[in-house]
Structure 1
Amino acid sequence: MTMFRLKNIILSSALLLHPAAALSTQNNPECIQWGACAYNTNKTALPVVCGNVSVPLDYTDKGSNESIVLQLVRVSAVAGPLQGVTGGEHDLVAFDPRGTGTTIPFSCYENATAALPNQLQYPDIGANSSDTALGTVWARATLTDSVCAGAPGNKTGELIGTAFVARDFISVVDALKEDGMLRYWGISYGSLLGATIASMFPERIDKLIIDGVLNAHEYYRGFEAENFRDTDKLFSAFIKECADSKCPLARGNVTAVDLEAKVYGLFDALKYNPMPYLGFMIDYSFVKSITFRSIYWPSQWPDLAMLLDSLLTGNLEALLTNQIVLDLLKPGAVDITPALTGIWCSDASMRTAKLADLRPSIDALMAASKLSGDLYAPLVSRCAQWPFAAKERYAGNFTAKTHHPIMLIGNTLDPITPLFSAHNMSAGFEGSVVLEQRGYGHTTLAQASACSANAIREYFRTGKLPEPGTVCEVDDKQIFKPVNSSTAASAPSVARRFVHGRRFL
């Protein structure tokens, strides 16, 4: 569910003369009637209330009266795990963006059971998993996209693009009946959404933070090599932190350089000798995918080290002693969701029916990251052949003077949204400032930083931006704790669970 009294903050996990601005952004939204939630809220102790807002199904069809209902959830200003960061003066309002949850969810199959035969017959593989893998990846994308195109009742593929979601957010702002201004914190894909809203409706921006910033120019083209600019550097940092701390993976007096080569050697060995275990096929693509996803969260690094050590030593029984490692091995732990595929691919402008046309883009991805570049070949191949195009794509250049300058945040080393992209996007928004969090992982929620939290709180409370060039340290730099530490294999934090449930990338 994506997120938004003083005033409400909307959290997500154009130029004024741009032609898209002529489209209606609302359908005379009614005042929201807040009340008890219709679904089970026993899993949270937070004081939540719910309300609905009707918005147009298709903003480009002015003659249609069809609408969809956005189911909002509101957490009061004085409660919740993120209120300390936002200042405790703002309610948080959340809803599922199009294609996800309860808002016209996108899927190429009627249910998970119907999808299973396709997933078993055509599992995603890395483009470097064999010398014939790329052709297989492309052919599988052709087959699965044809299933989507012919799916009975699947009429939402053109209606879940980011530009429509941006208009939904403005419709919600209007329905809140406050001052007509947006206060927003967008994380990961939410950064792309936030940049789109700020470009389409710069005059409606009061406070807007984008955290873990995507390069929107590359995103809308459907080619995102810049995403992987720091992936291998972060993996090297994981290896170095492990070696310096003498973690179990760093047996003997191995250097970080030698240890990294050893792990890459494991990946290559699994191409030819995959390990069947507990019903799983532990092969090249599977282990690389788990490794890539695990470096998102430094709190998972000890568990990743244990997994890799077990594979290197052949002691697979050791996996049974660590529940988090077992969770990583569950089917679907590294799958790309149907919502991600539907949203990203409908937004992307790149289309081709020939692998040869896409090959330079895939080669660029693999050149950008040895660890993860080839893992994105399946998604890029699907998007290139995707049968749906979003009814509206934002086609501007992401340069705007917002009503109040926006704030961008990036970690020093992020596996999928590099700090470089935050600076690229900041260049287009007048008066904006980039805050660097000197840490590892995906978005500021990957590692706690009182400095970053204070900067975010000050911005939402007063509008004051950090000084250009500000760098915030993380609170705890020791990632690999002693084995007997109670935090060595700690469960995911509230913040990490929050993002895991909402992540698009």
Structure 2
Amino acid sequence: MPLTLALIAFGLSTAASALAHARDGKGINFQPCPELNANITAINGVEGTPFDCAKLSVPLDYTDPESEPLELNLFRVNATAEPVLGTVLINFGGPGGTGAENLPAWADEARNNIGAQWNLVSWDPRGTGNTIPFQCNLTALTGAAVTSQKRDVGTLVSTDLTAVFLNGGWEAAGQLADYCLSEASETGTLIGTAFVARDMIKIVDALDEDGLLRFYGWSYGTALGSYAAAMFPERVERMVLDGNLNPHDYQAGHYGEFAHDIDETFAGFLQACFDATDNCALYTLLQPNTTQDLLDAINLALAPLAQNATLGAEAYLSYLSIKSTFVQPLYFPRTWPSFAETLASILNGTITAPASDSTPETYGTADNDVIGIRASDATFIANSSEEYLAQVEYQATISPGFSDVSYFPLWISAQWRMPAKERYWGDFHVKTKTPILYVNGEFDPVTPLVNAYNASAAFEGSVVLPHSGYGHGIFTDPSQCVARHIQAYFKNATLPGEDMRCEPDMSLLQVWQASLQVTESGSSSGGDGNGTMEGGSSSGSDNNSDTEGVEGTASRGSTSVEFAFAMILAITAMNVL
């Protein structure tokens, strides 16, 4: 063989060997971690997919050339089919969701959509788990009462969001922002999404594959994906964004129209209950003739609470403690039968929020990281309530039934005093190496389909694949049609046609019936939808349940502890974004 050909052959052989080595994920030293696997099983309450662990050192502060190192905790679920094609990074949302909790809980669903030939790697992003966990315990607040007013709406009974804002809500948000500044000033500027995007690229480089990013982002993970794509467009080999935040609205800090479809999702729950007849506890209790009868009965129970909320903060907290619990079940249709049981108990007269006497297992020490991360990213800061009032008036129009429990936690971001050391200020009008695939349900309670179209309009060549499913993200209402398109995209960059639309595998009634069968058999699979994105477990991120017996002061004058905790309740209810 001529020397030149021999050298070429040797080079090709070496490259192939290096690629095979890279696709085994050997650039990062993943090792079995049975003790952590067992701990996560205890936290999630169900045995998930086994995972391996690794650590990676990255700069703590990317704006400082001489920065101290930060150790990231990484987690990998191995591919189950040959040949292994490489690694897909995955973020399950939040912000505040950890890789340790969510990867084992949702790995099966992720693999079903992404494909079995990919290693799946997640991590604890900054501010979460044990990665410089953001800590702001919001139980140290006291003060005077505020009032709210009832608004006549066409769906669920609701309070007037603008009245809440004008009658103490803005001040309460400012108090929480100031308190977090006093608690977390040393690390609160180091947990922003731009730094997390840089961490992702460091992970890609350390994997020692081909240096390109393959990423699946769910919920807040779609904001992270948008940041990474805008900052490193030439590194994007594959990117699927599922259950989408509008990156422009996330960047500003007010989340825009995120509650746009929640009323329709709630209507879907009522219809599923009506169709399930006596398999729905709410139907059994009320024996309705129409779904409107179900809604009327729920409103009849909520109306006194909403009306009494005008009497002071304690009454307002009572209202929020009930209403805010309506939100998270809408993320996960498989939990709707148990949600119906909860509503039936409320209508039966047990109208107090459930209390827990036990302390759940936790992972990490982060506390209210959902606030710290998204607020540090916010680029719109208001110096007065007058500057923010127009935004509140707009927020009040988005959801007739749910704006009052959806938006007011976001007012904290507008008064945040710990901006991330790097905030992304770009406009997201970028051409990535490979166009992005957006996936979004038509009936998603917190990331409406319009968000996917708004995001796609900015990224050149990207495509939106809508589906008619309910709940938050494709994992919660699976579709083989969607899975086929996602797998084809990850394997060979094939994008669906612009007129493609998918349907879920099961109707809502079939999901309801299947959920009852799982409950009756005493088994569970994957994530149960009780957690931070979004999915696995929320216990490690937001430890906000202890709200009694703690006193403190704040710098903006006094605001009621009840009102502050009402805000925290709503934060907790919406922490899966």
TM-score by shorter chain over 0.5: yes
Tell me how many residue pairs correspond in the alignment.
Answer: 459
Distance 1:263 1:330, change over 3 A: farther
**2:37/2:50 contact within 8 Å kept:** no
- Aligned partner letter, 2:347: L
5 Å-filtered alignment, 1:360-379, equals: 360-379=390-409
Amino acid at match of 2:116: G
Tell me if structure 1 keeps the 8 A contact 2:214–2:236.
yes
Q: Displacement of 1:89 after TM fit?
A: 1.2
Given the superposition, is the C-alpha separation of residues 165 and 485 from structure 1 closer, same or farther in structure 2, using an over 3 Å criterion?
closer
Query: Residues 8 and 93 of structure 1 are in contact (CA less than 8 Å); yes or no, is this contact kept in structure 2?
Result: no
C-alpha change, 1:38 and 1:99, in structure 2 (3 Å) is: farther
Distance 1:123 1:161 in 2: 34
Alpha-carbon spacing, 1:227–1:485, altered in 2? closer, same or farther (3 Å): closer
- Higher helix fraction (1 or 2): 2
Match of 1:72 among 71, 74, 82: 74
Q: Which moved more, 1:428-437 or 1:122-131?
A: 122-131
The Cα offsets for residues 207-260 of structure 1, whole Å up to 9 and x where unpaired, read as 110000110111111122311111112112222222333333242343223432
1:395 to 413, 425, 428: 425
For 1:470, the equivalent position in structure 2 comes to: 500
- 1:357 alignment partner AA: E
Structural mapping, 1:97-496, within 5 Å = 97-109=125-137, 115-118=138-141, 133-134=164-165, 135-151=167-183, 154-246=185-277, 247-250=280-283, 251-272=286-307, 283-314=318-349, 338-479=368-509, 481=512, 485-487=516-518, 493-496=525-528
**CA distance 1:96–1:184, shift in 2 (3 Å):** same
CA shift, 1:414, in A, is 0.5
Largest Rg, 1 or 2: 2
* Preserved CA contact (<8 Å) 1:240 1:256: yes
Letter in 2 for 1:73: F
Structure 2 letter corresponding to 1:32: I
Per-residue CA deviation, residues 408-451 of structure 1 (Å, 9 max, x unaligned), is 00001111111111111111222211111211110101112122
Task: State the distance in 1 between where 2:27 and 2:515 align.
Answer: 55
1:108·1:154 contact (CA, 8 Å) conserved in 2?
A: no
Q: Is the 8 A contact 1:126 1:376 kept in 2?
A: no
Residues in 2 aligned to 1:47 and 1:125: alpha-carbon distance in whole angstroms: 50
Distance between the aligned counterparts of 2:425 and 2:22, measured in 1? 31
Partner of 1:35: 31
1:49-60 alignment, distance < 5 Å: 49-60=52-63
Say if 1:126 and 1:285, in contact at 8 Å, map to a contact too. Answer: no
Cα distance in 2 for partners of 1:122, 1:73 equals 46
How far, CA to CA, are the matches of 1:244 and 1:147 in structure 2?
A: 48
Q: Aligned in 2, Cα 1:433/1:478: closer, same or farther, shift over 3 Å?
A: same
The separation in 2 between residues aligned to 1:219 and 1:338, in whole angstroms, is 18
User: Any idea what the Cα deviations from partners look like across 1:125-183, whole Å, max 9, x if unmatched?
Assistant: 998676764333323222222222222x6411111111111011011111111110011
Offset of residue 467 of structure 1: 1.8
Corresponding residue SS for 1:471: coil
Farther off after superposition, 129-138 or 306-315: 129-138
TM-score by length of 1: 0.81
Contact 1:77 1:88 in 2 (8 A): yes
1:279-315 Cα offsets, whole Å, 9 max, x none, are: x998321221111111111112222222222222326
TM-superposed CA distance for 1:98, in Å, is 0.7
CA distance in 1, matches of 2:524, 2:176: 33
Percent identity between matched residues is 35
Deviations 1:28-72 (CA, angstroms, capped at 9, x unpaired): xx953333438522335745332221111111122x231201111
Residues 441, 466 of structure 2: 8 Å contact kept = yes
Using the alignment, how far apart are the partners of 2:317 and 2:140 within structure 1?
20
CA distance in 1, matches of 2:118, 2:56: 20
In structure 1, distance between residues paired with 2:146 and 2:227: 30
For 1:208 and 1:9, the matched residues in 2 are separated by 21
SS for the counterpart of 2:331 is coil
CA distance in structure 1 between the partners assigned to 2:60 and 2:124 by the alignment: 15
CA displacement, residues 336-369 of structure 1 (integer Å, 9 cap, x when unaligned): 9611100111111222242232222122212101
Q: 1:292 to 1:9 in 2, by over 3 A?
A: farther
Residue 501 (structure 1) aligns with: 537
1:441 is aligned with what amino acid?
Answer: G
Give the letter for the 1:269 counterpart: P
Structure 1 CA distance for aligned equivalents of residues 224 and 500 of structure 2: 25
Amino acid of the structure 1 residue aligned with 2:304: A
Aligned residue for 1:314, secondary structure, equals coil
TM-score normalised over the length of structure 2: 0.72
The answer to whether the Cα contact below 8 Å between 2:333 and 2:512 also exists between their aligned partners in 1 is: no
SS for the counterpart of 1:412 is strand
Structure 2: which amino acid aligns with 1:76? N
Output the amino acid matched with 1:35.
Q
Contact 2:126/2:132 (<8 A) preserved: yes
Cα contact 2:55–2:71 (8 A) shared by 1: yes
Match of 1:27?
Answer: none
2:281 is paired with a residue whose SS is coil
Aligned in 2, Cα 1:442/1:357: closer, same or farther, shift over 3 Å? same
C-alpha separation in 1, matches of 2:262 and 2:463: 24
Question: Which residue number in structure 1 is paired with residue 84 of structure 2?
Answer: none
Contact 2:246 2:451 in 1 (8 A): yes
**Higher relative contact order, chain-length normalized (CA < 8 Å, sep 6+):** 2
C-alpha contact (below 8 Å) 2:195/2:422 kept by paired residues: yes
Q: What letter corresponds to residue 388 of structure 1 in structure 2?
A: M
Query: Aligned partners of 1:414, 1:122: CA distance in 2, in Å?
Result: 37
2:7 matched residue in structure 1: none
Query: Gaps (5+ residues) in structure 1?
Result: 11-29, 110-114, 275-279, 320-324
Amino acid at match of 1:148: C
C-alpha distance in structure 1 between counterparts of 2:54 and 2:349, whole Å: 53
Match of 2:552 in 1: none
Task: Quickly say closer, same or farther: Cα 1:413–1:492, change in 2 above 3 A.
Answer: farther
Q: How far is 1:6 from its partner?
A: 8.6
Distance 1:258 1:56, change over 3 A: same
Question: Does the 8 Å CA contact 2:395/2:403 hold for their aligned counterparts?
Answer: yes
Instruction: Find the aligned partners of 1:381 and 1:469 in 2 and give their Cα distance.
Output: 38
Equivalents in 1 of 2:295, 2:113: separation in Å? 37
Report the secondary structure of 1:225's partner residue.
Answer: coil
